[in-house]
Amino acid sequence: MGLMMQQPLLISSLLRHAERHHGEQLVVSRRVEGDIHRYTYRDMASRSRRMAKALGSLGMEPGVRVGTLAWNGYRHLELYYAVSGSGAVLHTLNPRLHPDQLVWIAENAQDKVLCFDLNFLPLIEAVAPRLPGIDAFVLMTDRAHMPAQTSIPNLLCYEDLMAAQDDVFEWPEFDECMASSLCYTSGTTGNPKGVLYSHRSTLLHTYASALPDALNLSARDTILPVVPMFHVNAWGLPYSACMVGAKLVLPGPALDGASLYALMEAEGVTLSAGVPTVWQGLLAHTQGKGLRFSSMNRTIIGGSACPPAMMEAFEDQYGVQVLHVWGMTELSPLGTVGVLKTEQLASTRDQQRAVRSKQGRALFGIDMKIIDAQGAELPWDGEASGDLLVRGPWVLSSYVNDEGDSPLVKSEGQDWFPTGDVATIDPAGFMNITDRSKDVIKSGGEWIGSIDLENIAMAHPDVAMAACIAARHPKWDERPLLVVVRKPGAELSREQLLGFYEGKIAKWWTPDDVVFIDALPMGATGKILKHQLRERFGDFLMQPAERPTVG
């Protein structure tokens, strides 16, 4: 045996470190109440201890699940540490889900306490009678903002609970493999499934995500996570910011381009993180007004493919470097980051950008491979595309309450998690997602990747959003159909857009048709709901003579 100290990897240690070594560092939040709130890691640590005591007084014990329904803000951050640090399980619920789904998830998770932001009061009032398992509802606000009347029995006030406690509290020590937090997958198919993280998986993910060739985080950064704390722990940033001592700027519910831009400039944000749809709003705002970013130098884009046109806009117009990341709820979430190696530094800027547009290289801790339909491993030649499998200490082994078969598959004697993504891997180890397996377009037995087709459409100056789906076809089985939202005022025609594909891809990949609509259906985590588009337009190509007119 080695002769080193045995200390469990616990989430509370991140907060202890931030308080002791970065106590003066700031956490700035745009509150749901409308104003800006500022305090230090020292304040946050003190309040987290008080909240741990308060929740303990409400019966929160190790293992108990505490739900949150909240935006990115300091009270939510306090709960991240107060709940997990006490040995209970923080269950972040996604407020963008349908109320029926929220009720289903809270029941499935057996939440006992539910803490929620002020603007969700009407929603919780509506669903509270259907949540008999919840013993305590806590409104995350102060006494002045408590409603005079509510149908929620014994509604508790977060700041009153806080005020009743002092901060003398020792974080308990326990096994690092205990559950720390819970997040349900976005549920684009079937019922959502619960992914239960542990302290150990979270800490290892935090270390790896901060590395220079990952998110490259430091004490000199000011980080604004737009990616919500209710979806895969905001890509781990509430943990990694404490680990490195970075300033945190939390945008609350104001995620429009103007509000984000104002906060970024006011707080000197150097790094932000979010899904492509959010950045579209930000870029539309800055481009429309001719604005510059005075401090932001990097932005992390993931959750769905970053269109190369977006990378170009950030880098060429604004000098903001784009980090393209890929991950999943089941991966805590980070798996790969598109950062160059030495061997690519001599290539042209366009070649480098082509590499950085891929989903990227595996972080240490994640292993990956691609397999064909028979389960045989495919070569890393950048050409062969197959089902992507991953394994590692922050990859899930089984879903919550899942009595069915294991989600893992055996490959060469080892357990792997099948991601449902279809990808190539090049000789340098860069993985490129060509599709979700269920989104792949199978034309005459050959695969057409929808992401490439969407990226080209998105590069057209008149296109605001584009999704490419497999539409049934009498001859080819399936053919690509492009569903497009034009930019306001643009008069782009079907022929102009299809002509834009010429020379950019193999001719037979060109979409068969274009449908213009006003808005694409978006899921609760900012991803386009392609199954809804398939339901609506799946037969669009079947009767060419009688095609419906849309848009």
Cβ 115 to ligand AMP, closest distance in Å? 23
Would you say 244 or 325 has its CB closer to ligand AMP? 325
Q: At 494, which helix (H) or strand (E)?
A: helix 494-499
Q: Tell me which residue has tokens 């030649």.
A: 381
Binding string, 403-442, against ligand AMP, x = CB under 6 A? ----------------xxx-----------x--x------
Would you say 245 or 274 has its CB closer to ligand AMP? 274
Q: Near ligand AMP by CB under 6 A, which window of 13-21, 148-156, 328-336, 375-383?
A: 328-336
Cβ 428 to ligand AMP, closest distance in Å? 18
Q: Interaction with ligand AMP in 91-130: which residues (CB under 6 A)? A: none
Dihedral pair phi/psi, residue 470, rounded to 5°: -85, 115
One-letter identity of residue 528: I
Binding string, 347-386, against ligand AMP, x = CB under 6 A? ------------x---------------------------
Which one of 128, 214, 328, 482 is in contact with ligand AMP (CB under 6 A)? 328
What is the distance between the alpha carbons of residues 334 and 208, in angstroms, rounded to a whole number? 9
What is the distance between the alpha carbons of residues 504 and 491, in angstroms, rounded to a whole number? 22
Query: Active site includes 176?
Result: no
Cβ 189 to ligand AMP, closest distance in Å? 11
Query: Active site includes 107?
Result: no
Cβ 467 to ligand AMP, closest distance in Å? 13
Would you say 189 or 543 has its CB closer to ligand AMP? 189
Cβ 337 to ligand AMP, closest distance in Å? 10
User: Does 329 contact ligand AMP by CB under 6 A?
Assistant: yes
138-173 burial string, b = 16+ CB within 10 Å, else e?
A: bbbbeeebbeeebebeebbbbbebbeebeeebebee
Would you say 96 or 130 has its CB closer to ligand AMP? 96
What is the distance between the alpha carbons of residues 67 and 145, in angstroms, rounded to a whole number? 21
Binding string, 161-190, against ligand AMP, x = CB under 6 A? ------------------------xx----
- Of 202, 183, 219, 181, the C-alpha closest to 365 is 202
Q: What is the DSSP letter of 548?
A: P
Query: Active site includes 185?
Result: yes
User: Does 483 contact ligand AMP by CB under 6 A?
Assistant: no
Asked if 263 contacts 249 with a C-beta cutoff of 8 angstroms, the reply is: yes
Task: Write the CB contacts of 145 (distance below 8 Å, at least 6 apart in sequence).
Answer: 33, 118
Q: Near ligand AMP by CB under 6 A, which window of 106-114, 256-264, 300-308, 459-467?
A: 300-308
Task: Write the CB contacts of 342 (distance below 8 Å, at least 6 apart in sequence).
Answer: none
User: Does 333 contact ligand AMP by CB under 6 A?
Assistant: yes
Question: CB-based burial of residue 209 (10 Å sphere; 0-12 exposed, 13-18 middle, 19+ buried)?
Answer: buried
Would you say 449 or 511 has its CB closer to ligand AMP? 449
Binding string, 228-247, against ligand AMP, x = CB under 6 A? ----x---------------
Query: What string of DSSP letters covers 219-282?
Result: TT-EEEE-S-TTSHHHHTHHHHHHHHT-EEEE-TT--SHHHHHHHHHHHT--EEEE-HHHHHHH
- Of 88, 91, 12, the C-alpha closest to 56 is 88
Q: Interaction with ligand AMP in 515-544: which residues (CB under 6 A)? A: 525
Cβ 326 to ligand AMP, closest distance in Å? 4
Q: What is the DSSP letter of 477?
A: E
Would you say 165 or 359 has its CB closer to ligand AMP? 359
Which residue's CB comes closest to ligand AMP?
A: 329
Would you say 433 or 466 has its CB closer to ligand AMP? 433
Query: Active site includes 188?
Result: no
User: Directed axis angle between helix 11-21 and helix 237-244, to 10°?
Assistant: 40
Give the angle 243-10-85 at the CA atoms, nearest 5°. 95
One-letter identity of residue 463: V
User: Does 216 contact ligand AMP by CB under 6 A?
Assistant: no
Would you say 471 or 528 has its CB closer to ligand AMP? 528
Q: Near ligand AMP by CB under 6 A, which window of 326-334, 463-471, 488-496, 510-518?
A: 326-334
Asked if 248 contacts 238 with a C-beta cutoff of 8 angstroms, the reply is: yes
Cβ 227 to ligand AMP, closest distance in Å? 10
Query: How many Cβ atoms sit within 10 Å of the Cβ of residue 404?
Result: 7
Helix, strand, coil in percent for the chain, rounding step 5: 30, 25, 45
Catalytic residue among 19, 176, 267, 330: 330
Catalytic residue among 68, 92, 185, 329: 185
Name 271's bridge partners: 223, 298
Considering CB under 6 A, how many residues would be counted as binding ligand AMP?
21
Cβ 533 to ligand AMP, closest distance in Å? 16
Cβ 304 to ligand AMP, closest distance in Å? 5
One-letter identity of residue 411: S
Asked if 32 contacts 117 with a C-beta cutoff of 8 angstroms, the reply is: yes
Q: Near ligand AMP by CB under 6 A, which window of 88-96, 325-333, 410-418, 500-508?
A: 325-333
Q: Near ligand AMP by CB under 6 A, which window of 74-82, 85-93, 327-335, 409-417?
A: 327-335
Cβ 523 to ligand AMP, closest distance in Å? 8
Q: Tell me which residue has tokens 């790969």.
A: 336
Which one of 60, 227, 243, 305 is in contact with ligand AMP (CB under 6 A)? 305
> In the complex, which residues of this chain contact ligand AMP (CB under 6 A)?
185-186, 232, 302-305, 324-329, 333, 359, 419-421, 433, 436, 525
Q: Which residues are catalytic?
A: 185, 330, 442, 447
